[in-house]
Structure 1
């Protein structure tokens, strides 16, 4: 139990650190990182709703479909990176029992963050932050 709580805090602090380094946004002590606006905020809430229904993998698939659509410019569309980080931080706040009941794990959250960071050219940053755990 203590190890899972440690992983939760580690992942949350990693997302918070990424938000500060890349987006220059300090979320202070807020538990949930929400810094999205407009359409991204609406889509974020839709993803969270699907995840809350226990369809975490489906929500993650929706996220990746969004990241891949319209042949987007990774450098010019950092809002989608923000969206992905906020979503994974939201999942990370879920209880271990909820994640396990819906065939998802903290390791998958870490993998998702790393995968998204790689898409945007920040793979080494994610690896460095995870390496120090």
Structure 2
């Protein structure tokens, strides 16, 4: 699983409490607007027409229809799994995937704070433990 896929999975978890960014096939009725868009996006992705698919996605965005965020996460998760060669053939790049995710979040007013080089919670806990441990061991054992 690559970093961009992990990003879409993290967003799906944070925004929709879903374990996967992939929208189930039966999530929307086939004849509904989101059902039609989802089906068409998947068709275009399957044909390698990633730019056309992304244009369709952004043309579908509507602030009153946040379910298109889930559809966008599905789209970006799927294309993030393309090989570099397949992305190149589709005239797309990993940078464009990252930009697209950012543009989608911006459109919907979703802000995420990313602190470069910030330690993970586990690393921070380990550092806190290391800071405490020397103090505990500083006292010399007493002779009995």
Aligned pairs, how many? 113
Alignment of 1:43-58 (within 5 A): 43-58=37-52
RMSD of aligned Cα (Å): 2.3
CA contact (8 A) 2:44 2:53 kept: yes
Matching residue within 59, 62, 69 for 1:81: 69
CA–CA separation in structure 2 for the residues paired with 1:33 and 1:78: 16
Larger radius of gyration: 2
SS in 2 for 1:94: coil
Q: TM-score, normalised by structure 2?
A: 0.68
Structure 1 runs (4+) greater than 6 angstroms displaced: none
Unaligned runs of at least 5 residues, structure 1: 1-7
Matching residue within 17, 21, 25 for 1:24: 17
Q: 2:114 is matched with which residue?
A: 128
How far is 1:132 from its partner? Answer: 5.9
CA–CA separation in structure 2 for the residues paired with 1:132 and 1:13: 18
Unaligned runs of at least 5 residues, structure 2: 119-144
CA contact (8 A) 2:45 2:53 kept: yes
